[in-house]
Structure 1
Amino acid sequence: MRFRPISFDRLVTELAERIGSWPADRNPVVAFDGAAGASDPAELADALVDPLRIAGREVLRVSAWDFLRPASLRFERGRHDPDTRYEDWLDVGALRREVLDPLRPGGTGEVLPALWDAEADRAYRLPRATLSRGAVVLVDGELLLGRGLDFDLSVHLWLSPAALNRNTPADGRWALPAYERYEREVSPTDTADVVVRMDRPRNPAVKD
């Protein structure tokens, strides 16, 4: 793979321009995908909020971490099972039903910004957000691609195997086999619309 060095600020500018170019009658949903702990897709998604709003776009931030399954399902095979992390942590159906489907043709336009508080292990019970035409939804999370989720744009924060191993905190290293499986089965560097190498977060590079 060939990568073009880019500053974080320039990366934000390029993504904001690309997202902002969607027709005003569309509600693009953009995924920011990266390994938890080793990369920070939420930081990149957050950085795009103000530029898009300045450009006249309404923005809603959603985190896939607020669409996890209840603990009884996530930890059915133990708290540190990488296959469960890969296959069963994310409630894919709920994310599709509550965030993606309402913004598609014929949808209600009413999005649930968060479903499940994983730390408290209970529902948030938040009101739905009614989005205007042209509003943008920015979704951060991990292992998001290859699940049939109809994102309009996907941005994958990629780390080389050495960097992933080095940057993953000790208490999260049990999940490394899940990321290795993701790389092998989904190949996010081929699947994502935009691939950003994040071996050095302050010095990213974009795949040409």
Structure 2
Amino acid sequence: MKFVPMSPQALARRLARWIDHLDGRRLRVGFDGFAEAGSTALAEQVAVELTALQRPSVVVSTDWWWRPAALRLEYGRQDQESRLSGWVDTGSLTREVVDPLGPAGSGRHLTKLRDAGSDRAIRQAYQQAPSNSVLLLAGEMLLGHGFAFDAVVRLGVSAGAVRRALPEVRHWELAAFDTYRELHWLGPEKPGNLVVLSYDHPATPAVHGLDLR
């Protein structure tokens, strides 16, 4: 897999241009990556560039869509299976965000559901997205939830970089990240709209699969 280095600013611009040229009016793009690498920050940078292209977008982070702690930690605080696919409230996120912002959706959506820190629901008014809006959904282990993405940006972070970024108290999560990488790493032979980033160092990213013409 060949990666082309570029600046963070150029990456955001080119990703926005690539997204804007994808087929479809309402699009759903996943930014799948380790939280500490900055998947949400990258989605927000791309949203700024989409605005410059006169393309509206909605940035949503799965950090605001965790299940209540009683359900999330039902099998213990260090359960690998739960960490892999059971922390995010997939049903609510699909119902309130992914489906409404899809091609046949109403555009009526929420961006936040729950504050994981306080474990309390957030009272947020529904928002209305234009008919040509793009959903930029950022989060960890996105591809295991069955979300109907039109395209995916994978923030590739090595196991070593993940270990260095996590405090020791969270090293139990490393096995879940390794399992996800084995199950869902998509190589260039896979069909669909996929861009893969080499993102160990977000200040000096490299990209594979992005049309650079």
TM-score of the pair, normalised by structure 2: 0.88
**Matches of 1:71 and 1:55, distance apart in 2:** 40
Query: What 5-or-longer segments of structure 2 have no aligned partner?
Result: none
Q: Does 1:29 align with 2:28?
A: yes
Are the aligned partners of 2:43 and 2:138 in contact in 1 as well (CA < 8 Å)?
yes
* 1:1-208 map, 5 Å: 1-22=1-22, 26-37=25-36, 39-189=37-187, 193-208=194-209
**Matches of 1:165 and 1:205, distance apart in 2:** 21
Superposed CA deviations along residues 88-139 of structure 1, whole A, max 9, x for unmatched, are 1011111111111113344222011111221121211211111111112211
Count of equivalent residues: 206
Letter in 2 for 1:65: D
Secondary structure (helix, strand or coil) at the match of 1:83 reads: helix
Deviation at 1:65, TM superposition (A): 1.2
Secondary structure (helix, strand or coil) at the match of 1:18 reads: helix
**Matches of 1:62 and 1:16, distance apart in 2:** 16
Closer/same/farther in 2, CA of residues 105 and 47 from structure 1, 3 Å limit: closer
Letter in 2 for 1:168: L
Give % identity.
Answer: 38
Structure 1 outlier segments of 4+, above 4 Å:
188-192
Query: What 5-or-longer segments of structure 1 have no aligned partner?
Result: none
Q: In angstroms, what is the RMSD of aligned CA positions?
A: 1.9
**Matches of 1:169 and 1:205, distance apart in 2:** 26
